[in-house]
Structure 1
Amino acid sequence: MIPANQPETIIQQQKMLKQQASPTFPIHYWHDDNLLAAHKPSGLLVHRSAISSDRISLVGLLREQTKLSLHPIHRLDRATSGIILFGKNPEITAQLGSIFRERQVNKAYLAVVRGWIEEAGLIDKSIKTIKNDGPLRRVEAQTYYEPLQRIELPLPCGRYETTRLTLLLVKPHTGRRHQIRIHMEKLSHPIIGDTTYGDSRHNYLFRDHFDSNRLLLHSFALGMEHPLTEEQIGLFAPPMESITGLFNDFDKEALQERLEEEWNIQTSYSVASSIDSVGTGLQEE
């Protein structure tokens, strides 16, 4: 159990990040002649949508910064932070799209969930989704999860006198919309900050005690074969304090090294960011 007096640095950093959240903030990225990997803050849409009134998007900000015509290869929910990949031209975009569709990409996320999870496991449950504006249908979905650290906060929540949390490593084997969030809710361990599938009591506890208004889900790493060089590359987005700050024993460098070994990575690139969230409240896409 950690002490009752929580680190003030988490609250201070969240306030600082909110002050930075404006249409002019920089997006941090790595790139070569064909690819660009960006560190997306929580609360920012990948691209503008007809169903959202947001005036800015990750694609728009990157195109303004780089003066390049960039094409997102995959997606992240607005509320999710972390690594996301772009192609710099139509040819490389098509190749990358094929790699993702054929599931030749390794993905790793970090998530903070309600309760204690003792052992790793695989969730193999179909979920409902809409494809190409068609009818709602069920599709296969598999998510591997593994507890990295468990903590107990001396903060009452609901009928419990303390709050138990688990930091998870999550590896989706399929890439369905909201897959990780839905699967963790089905496991009765919803992600903190999830206003669609989560627990409002825990969401408000984090808002009130830690000034945290974001979904605690982070795209930590991608591993794949570079479509031109055929080199196995790893793309990493170090998590912010809002994700891992309460978990004192978490070692992001050790986790990166482990994934590099598991995925046979030859060259790694890290995309650090100073901006955690651009939202002003609990938001969903």
Structure 2
Amino acid sequence: MPFVIDKFFIEKKQRLFLYIIKELGYTQKEAQRLIAKGRVLQNSEVITKAGQEVQGEIEFIHFEPTTKGLKPTYIEKEFVVFDKPSGVLIHPQNRHTPYSLIDELKYQYGKDANITHRIDQETSGLVLCATNKTSERDIKIMFQERDMQKTYLAMVHGEFKDELVVEAPLLRAEDESAIVRMVVKVDERGKASKTSFKPLKYFPELDMTLVECKPHTGRQHQIRVHLFHVKHPIVGDPIYGQKEEDIVRFLDKELSQEERIKLSGASRLLLHADQLEFELYNNVYKIKSDVDFEKVSLQLLSM
């Protein structure tokens, strides 16, 4: 379990954040953030004020990474790239999440290593991770300035005949529907969003097309929503292209795998982060996934 509870005894009354800095080895910023997140308890009550004076026994909840042996496929001194399998979370959803990619990164490269961007749990493929605080800052600036070109592969429903650029603003809905938990939709009130699509191969026996996707902006669920918008939803997507009652059942984990396959075409989202291109520290990188996504997709669809 990544989150563990340790007990410590503070003999002399002192400010909590100073104890965490001096005795547990965290920076002031880290100590204040951990306290604000409710990671310190005394007498079963959460302490939320960093400057509060404490004495006696405290409970400290902290992240202790575990490993399942997943190794990065590309390694540099300042960063590494993992080829994430579908189903693996990027970060824990809560304290009871047993495993996520951040476990592997911090287990192998220490507590200062961090993931610099996200892909969905069911999306497979490349994730760029910094190995230290400096490169984390520089890589995140690179993302903010859109100096990163990402290429995805998606298996979509129907015959996708021509290259297409979709420029449709995306809005995360804030309505009262139960569907609010996931909805991102095309809406003129949303943020500008742009994705280029190129059909690679049509499979007539499946009525599906392998499509190359290049997002020019980085909105949540951008590729999924844009493909649904042009009536080519991604195979295996349990949300975009489905009825609201089925979406809610999926989110509540009440939709069986058999039902999901019948509704969406596959047991997982057939979307893969295939390639990263960027310049960092005066070097140009073009990193491609080792996964043969077409082969993986066809194997899954034949099961």
TM-score by length of 2: 0.61
Unaligned runs of 5+ in 2: 1-65, 174-183, 247-256
Cα distance in 2 for partners of 1:214, 1:27 equals 22
1:74 paired to 2:117: yes
Cα distance in 2 for partners of 1:89, 1:95 equals 10
- SS for the counterpart of 1:246 is helix
Structural RMSD (CA): 3.1
How far the C-alpha of 1:23 sits from its partner, in A, is: 6.7
1:33 paired to 2:87: no
Cα distance in 2 for partners of 1:41, 1:31 equals 18
In the alignment, residue 85 of structure 2 is paired with which amino acid?
P
Cα distance in 2 for partners of 1:142, 1:39 equals 25
Other-structure match for 1:133: none
Per-residue CA distance 1:63-108 (angstroms, 9 max, x = gap): 2244463211111011101001011111111111111111111110
Cα distance in 1 for partners of 2:96, 2:199 equals 37
Whether the 8 Å contact between 2:155 and 2:297 is mirrored in structure 1 is no
Other-structure match for 2:29: none
1:87 paired to 2:87: no
Unaligned runs of 5+ in 1: 1-21, 131-135, 154-162, 248-275, 277-285
Q: Show the 5 A alignment for 1:53-132.
A: 54-67=97-110, 69-129=112-172
The range that moved more, 31-40 or 215-224, is 31-40
Aligned length: 208
How far the C-alpha of 1:29 sits from its partner, in A, is: 2.9
Cα distance in 1 for partners of 2:292, 2:270 equals 10
Q: 1:172 aligns with which of 201, 215, 221?
A: 215
In the alignment, residue 237 of structure 2 is paired with which amino acid?
D
Whether the 8 Å contact between 2:164 and 2:198 is mirrored in structure 1 is yes
Cα distance in 1 for partners of 2:269, 2:225 equals 13
Whether the 8 Å contact between 1:27 and 1:40 is mirrored in structure 2 is no
After superposition, the Cα gap between the structure-2 partners of 1:246 and 1:149, relative to the gap in structure 1 and judged at 3 Å, is: same
After superposition, the Cα gap between the structure-2 partners of 1:241 and 1:108, relative to the gap in structure 1 and judged at 3 Å, is: closer
After superposition, the Cα gap between the structure-2 partners of 1:186 and 1:148, relative to the gap in structure 1 and judged at 3 Å, is: same
Larger Rg: 2
Cα distance in 1 for partners of 2:107, 2:298 equals 35
Cα distance in 1 for partners of 2:79, 2:86 equals 22
Whether the 8 Å contact between 1:36 and 1:88 is mirrored in structure 2 is yes
Give the strand-richer structure, 1 or 2: 2
Whether the 8 Å contact between 2:151 and 2:275 is mirrored in structure 1 is yes
How far the C-alpha of 1:55 sits from its partner, in A, is: 1.6
Whether the 8 Å contact between 2:210 and 2:294 is mirrored in structure 1 is no
- SS for the counterpart of 2:272 is strand
Q: 2:89 aligns with which of 45, 49, 58?
A: 45
Q: 1:225 aligns with which of 252, 255, 279?
A: 279
How far the C-alpha of 1:245 sits from its partner, in A, is: 5.0
After superposition, the Cα gap between the structure-2 partners of 1:66 and 1:89, relative to the gap in structure 1 and judged at 3 Å, is: closer
- SS for the counterpart of 1:24 is coil
- SS for the counterpart of 1:122 is strand
After superposition, the Cα gap between the structure-2 partners of 1:95 and 1:28, relative to the gap in structure 1 and judged at 3 Å, is: closer
Cα distance in 2 for partners of 1:241, 1:76 equals 16
In the alignment, residue 123 of structure 1 is paired with which amino acid?
V
After superposition, the Cα gap between the structure-2 partners of 1:142 and 1:47, relative to the gap in structure 1 and judged at 3 Å, is: same
- SS for the counterpart of 1:143 is strand
How far the C-alpha of 1:25 sits from its partner, in A, is: 4.5
Cα distance in 2 for partners of 1:244, 1:74 equals 24
Whether the 8 Å contact between 2:150 and 2:214 is mirrored in structure 1 is yes
How far the C-alpha of 1:217 sits from its partner, in A, is: 0.2
- SS for the counterpart of 2:298 is coil
* Aligned residues with identical type, % of pairs: 29
- SS for the counterpart of 1:221 is strand
In the alignment, residue 105 of structure 1 is paired with which amino acid?
M
